[in-house]
Amino acid sequence: MKKLWPSKQLAGYISVVFAAAVVAIFAGWTGFASRIDNYAYDFFFGLYPPHVEARESALVAIDENTLNEFGGMRRIRSILAATLDRLATAPPKAVALDVILADPGDPAEDAKLEAAMARTHDLVLPCELVPGGWENPIPRFSRHAVALGHIHADDKARDGVSRQIQLEKLAPGDRRWALSLVAFQYSRGGQPIMESPEDLEIAGVRIPAARRAGERPLRIRFAPDTAGISAADLLHDPSVAAELKGKTVFVGVTALTAARDRLITPLGESVPGVAVHRDAFETIAQGQFLTPASNLTVLAVCFAFAAAAGFTFWYRGGWSAYVIGAGLLGVAHTVPAYLFRQGLVFPYFAAVSAAWLPVAAAATYRYFVVRGQLHQSESDKARYRQAIHFVTHEMRTPLTAIQGSSELMGRYVMSEDKRKQIALMINSESKRLARMIQTFLDVERLTEGQTDLKKEQFGVEDLMATCLARVIPIAERKQIQIHPPEPTTDVLTGDRELMEYAVYNLLTNAVKYSEAGTEAWLSGERSGGWVRISVRDQGIGIDAKEIKNVFTKFYRTKKAEASGESGTGIGLSIVDQIVKEHGGRMEVASRPGQGSTFTMILPCHAEAPVDALSASKRM
Indicate if the pLDDT at residue 614 is higher than 50. no
Select the more confidently predicted residue: 376 or 340.
Answer: 340
Q: Which amino acid is at 97?
A: L
pLDDT in tens, 398-456: 777 777 778 777 777 778 888 788 888 888 778 767 766 776 676 566 666 666 667 88
> CA–CA separation, 265 vs 277, rounded Å?
12
Going by the DSSP 8-state scheme, the letter that residue 547 receives in this structure is G
pLDDT of residue 66: 92
Does residue 10 have a pLDDT over 70?
A: yes
Q: What percent of the chain has pLDDT over 70?
A: 85
> Is the pLDDT assigned to residue 588 strictly greater than 50?
yes
The confidence score (pLDDT) of residue 395 equals 66
Mean pLDDT, residues 186-202 taken together: 93
Residue 193, pLDDT > 90, answer yes
Burial of 177 (0-12, 13-18, 19+ CB in 10 A): buried
Q: Say whether pLDDT at 95 is over 80.
A: yes
The angle formed by the CA atoms of residues 360, 362 and 363, to the nearest 5 degrees, is 65
CA distances to 95, 315, 329, 354, 363 from 308, rounded to whole Å, are 54, 11, 11, 11, 12
Query: For the CA atoms of 259, 264, 268, 270, what is the dihedral angle to 10 degrees?
Result: 0
User: Under 8 Å CB-to-CB from 315, ≥6 apart: which residues?
Assistant: none
Q: What is the mean pLDDT of the chain?
A: 84
Answer whether residue 385 shows pLDDT above 80: no
Query: Residue 521: which of 590, 597, 466, 617 has the closest Cα?
Result: 597
Q: Has residue 391 got a pLDDT over 80? A: no
| pLDDT band at residue 618 under the 50/70/90 scheme | very low
519 by DSSP, 3-state: which?
Answer: strand
**pLDDT tens readout for residues 321-375:** 889 999 999 999 999 999 999 999 999 999 999 999 999 988 888 777 777 766 7
Query: Which residue would you say has higher pLDDT here, 593 or 229?
Result: 229
Residues above pLDDT 90, as percent of the chain: 40
Question: Looking at the predicted structure, is the pLDDT value of residue 560 above 60?
Answer: no
Q: Which of 617, 619, 618, 607 is nearest to 457 (CA)?
A: 607
Q: Is the pLDDT of residue 604 over 90?
A: no
Burial (CB < 10 A; 0-12, 13-18, 19+), residue 216, is buried
* The one-letter amino acid at 134: W
Lowest pLDDT segment from 422-426, 466-470, 481-485: 422-426
> What's the predicted TM-score (pTM) here?
0.63
* CA dihedral over 320, 323, 325, 328, signed as positive or negative: negative
Give the per-residue SS3 of 464-512. HHHHHHHHHHHHHHCCCEEECCCCCCEEEEECHHHHHHHHHHHHHHHHH
Give the list of residues 6+ apart from residue 606 with CB closer than 8 angstroms, or none.
Answer: 491
pLDDT tens digits, 39-76: 999 899 888 888 777 889 999 999 999 999 998 888 99
Nearest to 598 by CA among 613, 618, 578: 578
pLDDT value of residue 512: 85
Q: Residue 226 — pLDDT band, cuts 50, 70, 90?
A: low
Q: Do residues 397 and 566 touch, judged by C-beta distance below 8 A?
A: yes
The yes-or-no verdict on residue 567 having pLDDT over 60 is no
Place 477 in a pLDDT band, splitting at 50, 70 and 90: confident
Omega into 487 within 30° of 0, i.e. cis? no
d(CA 317, CA 303): 22
Average pLDDT over residues 4-8: 57
Does residue 562 have a pLDDT over 80?
no
pLDDT tens for each residue of 130-155: 888 899 999 999 999 999 999 988 76
Residue 342 and residue 323: Cα distance in Å, rounded? 28
pLDDT at 281: 94
Query: What pLDDT is stored for residue 68 in this prediction?
Result: 92
Among candidate residues 199, 234, 192, 193, the one with its CA nearest the CA of residue 58 = 234
Confidence class for position 611, pLDDT limits 50, 70, 90:
very low
pLDDT of residue 494: 87
Neighbouring CB atoms inside 10 A of 438's CB total 10
Alpha-carbon distance of 281 to 184, in angstroms, equals 6
Give, rounded to a whole angstrom, the gap between the first and last alpha carbons of the chain.
Answer: 30
Q: What is the pLDDT of residue 316?
A: 82
The model's pLDDT over 251-305, given as tens digits with 9 standing for 90+, comes to 999 888 766 677 888 888 888 889 999 999 999 999 889 999 988 999 999 999 9
Report how far residue 52's alpha carbon sits from residue 43's, in angstroms, rounded to the nearest whole number. 20
**Phi and psi (nearest 5°) for 206?**
-90, 130
Closest CA to 118 of 141, 98, 87, 86: 141
pLDDT tens column, 152-186: 887 667 778 888 999 999 888 889 999 999 999 99
Least confident of 383-387, 396-400, 544-548: 383-387
Per the CB < 8 A criterion, the answer to whether 254 and 303 are in contact is: no
Give ∠ CA 287-291-292 in degrees, rounded to 5. 170
